Structure formats: structure tokens, C-alpha cells
A and B are shown apart, each in its own frame.
Chain A
Amino acid sequence: MAEPSSRKYRRVLLQIDAATLCQDTVGAAVEIAARLGGELHGLFIEDTDLVAVGELEFIHEFRLSSPTAHPLDLLTLESQLRAMARSVRRQLERAGNRQKVTIGFRSVRGDTWRTEEETSNDADLVIIESTGRLHSRTYRGHRTNRRSAVANLCPTLLLKGGKRLTSFVTVICDSVEAAKLGVRTVTTLLGVKPENITLLPYALNDQECQELREIIEQFAEETMKTAEGRTQIKIGPNVAEDGARVMRFLSPDDCVVVLKTGGIFLENPAHLESLIVSRHPLLFVQ
């Protein structure tokens, strides 16, 4: 934690598809890009599964605005997807104009996980909307999104219903490295103040816990040099291997949770599942 981060998050990528379009998500993504002083690229994904559905003759669509059965053919579906892509682009441009953020946009057909590498090379931060809730139009997407979030090679922020991010962050520390990486990312990426950061040790031994405390002290000393004076990162109790207990220590209930991919916490899919369906926005760091 001693060396200051040199990482710059200039390129922000917002992945969105027919299932995850949400005006609030667009707004939140633009806000983050504006704070970072970076560019925002919108990526609208025309899902191949959806196209396959349109090719089946006996499929009916039940529209939210008119819940009667409408025959769903490929032509209708294509036109809907194009209209939706234009709508996303308009929303991004409008929000970008307001916040003075440079906007890029492209529309691709395929699965998100097939473009992971390409995406990571192209972005410093990926934002994905994923709550698993119907009203935020992610019902189909949650399965694919969690896969891409974990597999991405750059920090990936999983928004829940497009809510504004709160200023409170909990970093799940399944290693000392996860703690260092988490603190560095949230201070630079999300601009969170140290006193709002909580480190939650997960299955760490005494020595690792001591290292965590040293990191906190070191950080506090560094902040003494700043205008705001000494501020200190909080530390939670060391949670044993029972992942379900982690949820009890996440406070407030919409704080951002930071997880390091490849760590022992995410080895258990049940842990990720409980976080995915919670209200917490998730930030995956690598």
C-alpha cells in the first residue's frame, strides 16, 4: 500500500444489452466517467440467443405495456434491437453532453463472454448492469454478466439497478494483496475517503491480520500530510471460512463491495451468488 497508484482509468466501457438497458445505469456510468475525467464507450450487444428466439415460429412476446401475446418474428426483433441501440446511443450522448464526457458507441452481435479479451484490452474499467431483478431488465443477463465480471482482466463494476454509488466501501480481504489492491482501486477509481473504507478480513491468519493493521497505520500516516489530516481505514472482524457470515458484516446495506478475482473467497460459487443477488454494487479487481 505504500506506493501510490499510477493507474489511470481513462477508458470506461459500459456493456449493455436488450436485457440490461436502464436509464439510471447510463446516468451512473456517465457520472463515474466524468469523475475520472475519462471517455465512456457504450457497447450494445445484440444477443445471439435473442436472435435465435426470433427465428422460432411459435414464440410469442408478452410486452410489459400490453400483456397480450404478440407473435415474435425475426423482422420484428431486428427492428426492436436497432431501435433500442439508437435509444441507448441517444441516452448516452444526452447524458454525456450534460456531464461533458466524450462518448463513443458501437453495437455488436454476439455473447459478451466471447469478447472478454477484446473488451479488456480496450478498457480500463468495465461497467455492467446486473441486479437479477426484473425491473432493471437484467433477468436474462445475470448469468452471463457474473461470468464476464469474474473473468475480465480489468476492474469491473457491477451496478445494481443503476443506483448512485454510496460513499461507503467494504473490501473483502481474502489476502493482504486483495486489501492493498482494493484500497488503491476504490480511492483512485471511486474517490472514496479512507474513513469510509472498511477492510473485512476473510480467513486470514494472525500474521496476515497484523499486516492489514500495518497497512492501515501506514495509510493513516500518509493522510496526515494532506489538508484533511489523519484519517483511518476501519477494519472488521476476521470472518472464518463461513462465507454466509460475510453478508452480516456488510454495512450499510448498499455499500460497494470490493472483491479480488482469483482469491479464495470467490472459489466458492455460493459466496458470489449471495453477493450477486444482494443490493450491493460489486467491484471486481484483478
Chain B
Amino acid sequence: MVGSKALPASQLCRRYNLEALGFTDTSELEDLREPLGQDRAVEAIRFGIGVRHQGFNLFAFGPSGSGKTEIIRRYLEPEAAAKPVPDDWCYVNNFTTPDHPKMLRLPAGRAKDLARQMENLTAEVRVVISAAYESEDYRTRLDVIVEQFKLKQEEAFENLHKKAGEKNVAIVRTPMGLALAPSREGKVLNPEAFSKLPTEEQEQVKKDISELEVDLQAVVRMLPELEREQRREIVKLNREVTSFTVDHLIDEIREKWRDCTAVLVFFDEVQDYIINHSDVFRLSKDEAAETIPARMAADFLMQQERVIGNCQVNVLISHKADGGAPIVYEDNPTVENLLGRIEHRSEFGSLVTDFRLIKPGALHQANGGYLILDARRLVFQPYAWETLKRELRSREIRVETLSQMMSLGSMVTLQPEPIPLDIKVILIGDPTLYYLLSQNDHDFNNLFKVPVDFDDRVPVTDEAISLYAQFIATEARKKQLMPLHRSAVEQVMERMTRLTSDTERLSSHTRSLSDLLSEADYWAASRSAPRIEAQDVKHAVKAHIHRSDRMRERTQEQFQRGTMMLDTSDAKVGQINGLSVLQLGDFAFGRPSRITARVHLGRGRVIDIEREVELGGPLHSKGVLILSNFLAARYTNNRPLSLNASLVFEQSYGGVDGDSASSTELYALLSALSNTPIKQSLAVTGSVNQFGEVQAIGGVNEKIEGFFDLCNFRGLTGDQGVLIPESNVKHLMLKDEVVAAAEKGQFHIYSVTSIDQGIEILTGIQAGELDAAGNYPPESVNGRVKARLEVFAESARQYVKSGGEDKMSGAGDG
């Protein structure tokens, strides 16, 4: 067992050979029709788009850059084109309650016609009304009314005048009204003349005036009523004239809208409104400026603009009659961008609004079709998520501002009539968000019943390889890149396999592929090549890594300069080379670490120093706790585990997490217990379970390459290598340098399935198997460990006997 063989170079990396596909470069390959490896997602999209019941909205999730939006659009567009065009939507004035504008639903493509017709109508109405009021006929009829009422007034006053005259009383016009005064020969008597009259006559005059005042009061009282009556008659005349003028204009366009009852009702309302506001239509802007004082003219023009505007139509949404159902992608899903908004304009320092300032949102635009939203942006926008859910639940669009929703502010605004909502919403996000919403938001599962789960990897099969070549060809053409030579395609596939860290999978991550192709195209172009060759792809990969690996180089430098202590030769007890991965953005690299273990008499605790100082994560702690149970179960039989062991990542000043070092720590512990030195030319990765089986870990390639780089710098000796779990062999996609070194026997990758297998490679000593009597061979590693633990157990027993239990308890706790 000690002579375990390293993995052959062929197992360290998957190479692709596409010769059998029979193409020279990608220009010979056809486009890929279906998305690669997204069968589940495609099936979900087809179902989600097809089912029309409420709540069957889609949530597409998968890794960022996996081409979700593009794939969804590819299936959505033909479906939308085949659907009927949704209706047009308008808002019109509510003539009864203007702050509740009415919605108007029109057949597709006709809203703009209506708006244009109403604009023409109002312009024409102004002309014809103005002409009607200027006509001789109207003026004559108006004069008749005015004269009639003047005559009534005069008649009343003439009677009074006559009566007063008979009694020598004059009616005098004062600045504010009328008065009765004594007169003689048409001239008012002054106080002096009046006092000269006989007393009886004076009294008689006073009496007469007193009596006449009753009549005068009655006449004066009658004046406002006469004026009101006159105004009523004039209004009646105006209505009659306006109605006669306007009716035929509205009737003309009414004919064109016979099929739309709602429009006919609107016409009726407009007709009434124009008749009731004929005064406003009478004057043109120029006439108003001429005939009305400047300040009043401004008010009048504003009122005129408002009244004319009230007869117009705010086209919220208008579709082309042959356009199919809309597909809308809202990039910035704020509440306003979703629901629409009510704008205001400034009038003399005040903010005012009306139905014409209602603007549509994405929900309006996508109504009757599909709305695509970025889920993460949606939930990050204040109230946007809740708003969308509310609209989907109620199936209507209610234009509201945030301040209205939150009951903030008291500015006068509108409450437009809600518009019925028939929409399919497609959210695009990442899996974390999907599962979070699914678990924590009760509405979510009712409203987004169709998960569309995008995968970013495809199993490597002969068919998949062929399709993948087409996938590459399609992407290259889509981005208008040079064609790729077959060897370049092979290189691309290798790189895409490496990205999955699995030799049996190819990454279908569109953005990564696309970026790699673009970069390779750049390098090919820079050497004026007609197509992309393998060297361009390799160059692109190298350059990409180089751009990102400053931190990796800095870390390597620490080891090379001896700042970080790590041996790559000799053998030491209780010391081993572990491997970890550092992830910086989208770049990961391996970093070797020295792990040491010390043991002494104690109460069966393995102390994880990282955890004690809160630098270790829960997974790391879990791995360490497994070790103590492994030791106790394997070596101590019915005795207590009487040791204290401490484990530490030397010179580690950041956090440590994951259980990938648990097997490494166990090797260190076994070395310390058995006093057997471990070869420092080897590094180890892999987790371990309570039975001593070595389990798979992540980032195996980066870890191996991290240790290789250090060894390579110090000089490959042929003894150096890495122990990895057997189950990670299929994940090996090592870089060319490592593979070449392995081929030359300068660097070795060992795969192990158990701790025993690993310790033999690390120490060169047999692990030792349990015999029938339950003992290990004394010189084996296991035998030495067991013996050492038995010594600890006996020492502990003696110590307790001598009354040192309390001390030991204290020591153990410490």
C-alpha cells in the first residue's frame, strides 16, 4: 500500500479532439437552434408562456450571464407576434368629477385617430362659435333680450317717477344707489328752501317720501331678479346658438365611432361641456389680449386652455394594428416606471395637474403582452415589489404616486380610473433571490408559479460536444467574430470545462464563452490572422488570468521570500501542508498553508485554535470535531480519550472556513500522536468523515496549482505532489505546466480514498490494519497512535487516582 502510484498525466486534464466532427473552422458549422443544455428551462418557458391562468408568471433564475434574457426573448417573440394586438388605452376628462379621469378603451391603433379628431374638433369649434356669436342674427337676438329687460326696468321706474312727480318728489341717483328728495319744478329743494315750507307741507312731503320709499325699495329689490332672469335668457340663447353650431361637427365624427359605445358617451359629454362653456370658445387669443385687461386676459387664456384641453384625449398607449402583443423590458423598475406617473406643471407658482399629465408605465405598455423585469433591481426599488404584486393580484393598474401610497403629503392630485391588467410578468434573477422569495414571501408562490431554472453546465457526451461546437460557432457569428479553427474550438472547450471544475461537464455560461471568444478574436486580429487559432485562445486565457492574478502573485511572493513559512522538502512531526482557495471576485487561486498539531495529556478535546479566536467558520469547526470522534472510536476502545490536541493554521490571519482541511489536520494529528514525520514535499486536501473516509472538496485544481507554483519556483524535485480525494479525480483540469511536470515525473497527484491510504503516502510507513485481537501492528502508524493514546489513558488514570482529578479537570478546560 505504501507504494501508491500517482495519477497518470492523462487523468489530470481532459483534452478534446474534434477531428471526428469533420470541420476545419466554425464557419462550416450551422447555428445552434435550441439553447444548449437548457431543456428544463425551455420546457418551463414554453409552459409559462402558454398557460393563461392567473398567477402563472415566470421567475427565471440561474447564474448571471447564462443568457436567460436572450433565451426567454427567443421563445417569447414568436409567441407574442402570433397573439392579437391589445387594445389602445386613453384617459379623458371626467366632466362630473375632474379629479377622477376616465379611461377609454379603443381598438388597437385607433387612439391616435381619436386624439387627432378631438384636436381638430376643438380648433374648429372655436372658429364656428366665434363666427356664430359675431353673426347679426345672434346680436339681434341678444339685443332683443337686453332691450326687453331694460324696458321692464324702465317701466318700473317710469311708474315710480310719475308717481313721485305728482307728489313733488324727485328720484335722485346717488353714487351707490337711489334716493327720494323733495323737489319743486324739477329741482331738488335744499334744506333752507325746505324749511321755508309750511310745517304741514313739510310733514306731507316727509309722509309722501316715506310712502314712496316702499315702492322704491320694491323696484330696487326687483332689479337683481330681473338681471338674473336676463342672464338666464342669455345663457339659454347662447346654448341654443352653440348647440346649433357644434352639433353637426360632433355628429360628423360620431359617425366614425359608431362601433365604440364608450366613445359615443364621451362625445355626448364633450358636446354638453362645449355648450356650457361657449363663452370660453368665443374669443381667440389675440381678441382676448385686445379686449380684456392684461391680467384678466392671462387668467382667461389659462382657463381657455384648460377648457379646450378638457375636450381632448390623452393617448396613454397606442399599438400598431399589426404589431402583435408587446414585449417590454423595464430596466429601471421603480414604482413610477411600473405604474406610470401623474406629472404637474407650474401655474403662477402653484403645481397643477389634469388628466393630460398622466403618463404610462411599463405595466401599461406591456398590458396584453409580456413584461420582463430584473428581479434584483425590482426588490431593491422602494415599494416596487409590493406594488407589482398588488397590481398582479388585483389585475388592474392604478396610477398612484409613492406619496399617495404612503399617505404622505396632501397635494391635490388625480385618482385615475384603474385600467384592467392582463399581463405575463417574467422576472429574471439569481437562484438565491428565487429561493429567498419563495420561502419568505407568501404572495410569491401564488403569483410566480412557473420557475425557469437555467443550468450553466452540460454533461460531456459525444452529442453535447458536437452541439457545443455549434454553440461556439453561433456565438462567434452573433458577435461578428472571426471563425475559430477546430483547434481553437478544442481549446475553448477545455477552458469551459475548467470553468466547471469538472471533466465531465462543459460550461454553458454564455457570457464567459462570449468574453473568451472576444478576447481570442482580439489576439487573433492583433497578429492579423484570418481566424482564431488555438494559440489565440490560450493567449486569451493567460492574459485574462494575468489581469486578475496580482494578489496570487503577491501571495506566492510571500512564500518565495520566506515571509510565509512553508517547507517543500524534508519531513516533520505534527506539521503538514494544507491547501486553501482564495476567491477574489471571479478569480480564484490556491494558497498553501502550514498546519501544525500538538498533543498532550488531557480530557479528550481537540482544540481548534482558529475557532477559539473566532477565525474559524462553522464548517471548519465541524471538521475538527469529527477528528476527536474519529480518534476516540478508532483507537481507544472502551477507554476515555485522554488527550488534548491543538490544531492551527500557521500564519493565518484571516478567517478559515470549509472542511476541506479536515483530512490534512487529521494527518497532522496522527503524525503528532505517532511521532512519525510527514513529508513536507507533499500537500494535502480533502475532508474526512468519522470513519476515516476521504471525501471530495471544491477548488481542487486551484489548490494543486497553488502548491505546484511554489514547488516550481523552488525547483521541482520529483518528490513533490498533492494528495487529493479519489472522488475529485474527475474534477481535474489542471493547467498545462502541471500536466507536463506530471508527465515528466517531476510532480505527482495522488488520489486517496481513506486516511490510512493517505498517511502511508505522507509518512512512507504502513498505516497498519486491525488484527483479530483488535490490535494494530506496533510499528505501523495506527499502532503507534494507539499505543500513545493508551499511555495517555493510563497516565490520566494514575493522575486521577492520585487525587488530581480537579486539577485535570481544570487543565482540560484550559
Interface residues of A (CB under 8 A from B): 18-19, 21, 49-50, 52-53, 55-56, 58-65, 67-70, 72, 77, 80-81, 83-84, 94, 98, 133-135, 137-141, 143
Complex CA distance for A50 and B209, rounded to whole angstroms: 16
B217 within 8 A of A: yes
Query: Are the CB atoms of B174 and A18 closer together than 8 Å?
Result: yes
Complex CA distance for A80 and B178, rounded to whole angstroms: 13
In chain B, positions 220-264 with a C-beta closer than 8 Å to chain A are 220-221, 223
B265 within 8 A of A: no
Nearest chain B residue, comparing its CB with the CB of A49 = B188
Chain B residues within 8 Å of A60, by CB: 179-180, 213
Given contacts A50-B172, A67-B221, A141-B173, contact A59 B179 (CB under 8 A): yes
B216 within 8 A of A: yes
Query: Are the CB atoms of A81 and B175 closer together than 8 Å?
Result: yes
Given contacts A49-B188, A69-B213, contact A63 B176 (CB under 8 A): yes
Complex CA distance for A220 and B221, rounded to whole angstroms: 56
Q: In the complex, what's the smallest C-beta–C-beta distance from B124 to chain A, in angstroms?
A: 28
Give the residue of B173, B194, B293 whose beta carbon is less than 8 angstroms from that of A94: B293
Query: Are the CB atoms of B172 and A53 closer together than 8 Å?
Result: yes
Interface residues of B (CB under 8 A from A): 150, 153-154, 157, 170-182, 186-191, 194, 206, 209, 213, 216-217, 220-221, 223, 293
Nearest chain B residue, comparing its CB with the CB of A51 = B190
Give the residue of A69, A77, A80, A143 whose beta carbon is less than 8 angstroms from that of B186: A143
Chain A residues within 8 Å of B191, by CB: 52, 55-56
Chain B residues within 8 Å of A67, by CB: 177, 217, 220-221, 223
Chain B residues within 8 Å of A69, by CB: 213, 217
Nearest chain B residue, comparing its CB with the CB of A68 = B217
Chain A residues within 8 Å of B171, by CB: 139-140
Complex CA distance for A77 and B170, rounded to whole angstroms: 17
A-B contact count (CB 8 A): 101
Looking at B172, B174, B181, B190, which has the most chain A CB atoms within 10 Å of its CB?
A: B174
Complex CA distance for A94 and B294, rounded to whole angstroms: 11
Nearest chain A residue, comparing its CB with the CB of B187 = A49
Nearest chain B residue, comparing its CB with the CB of A137 = B173
Complex CA distance for A80 and B216, rounded to whole angstroms: 21
Query: Are the CB atoms of B153 and A135 closer together than 8 Å?
Result: yes
Given contacts A139-B157, A140-B172, contact A53 B179 (CB under 8 A): yes
Give the residue of B154, B181, B206, B221 whose beta carbon is less than 8 angstroms from that of A53: B181
Looking at B188, B213, B223, which has the most chain A CB atoms within 10 Å of its CB?
A: B188
Q: Given contacts A62-B220, A64-B176, A72-B179, could you give 15 more A-B pairs where the C-beta distance is less than 8 Å?
A: A18-B173, A18-B174, A52-B181, A52-B190, A55-B191, A56-B181, A59-B179, A59-B209, A62-B177, A64-B220, A67-B217, A67-B221, A70-B177, A80-B174, A134-B153
Chain B residues within 8 Å of A133, by CB: 150, 153-154
Query: Are the CB atoms of A61 and B178 closer together than 8 Å?
Result: yes
Nearest chain B residue, comparing its CB with the CB of A56 = B191
Complex CA distance for A52 and B182, rounded to whole angstroms: 10
Query: Are the CB atoms of A139 and B173 closer together than 8 Å?
Result: yes
Complex CA distance for A203 and B217, rounded to whole angstroms: 47
Chain B residues within 8 Å of A98, by CB: 293
Query: Are the CB atoms of B174 and A50 closer together than 8 Å?
Result: yes
Complex CA distance for A152 and B609, rounded to whole angstroms: 124
Complex CA distance for A68 and B189, rounded to whole angstroms: 24
Give the residue of A65, A135, A138 whose beta carbon is less than 8 angstroms from that of B176: A65
Looking at A56, A84, A94, which has the most chain B CB atoms within 10 Å of its CB?
A: A56
Q: In the complex, what's the smallest C-beta–C-beta distance from A15 to chain B, in angstroms?
A: 15
Chain B residues within 8 Å of A64, by CB: 176-178, 220, 223
Complex CA distance for A81 and B172, rounded to whole angstroms: 14
A/B interface sample: 24 pairs, CB < 8 A: A49-B188, A50-B174, A52-B191, A53-B174, A53-B181, A59-B180, A59-B209, A60-B179, A60-B180, A61-B174, A62-B179, A63-B176, A64-B177, A64-B178, A67-B221, A77-B175, A80-B174, A84-B175, A134-B223, A139-B171, A139-B178, A140-B171, A140-B173, A143-B186
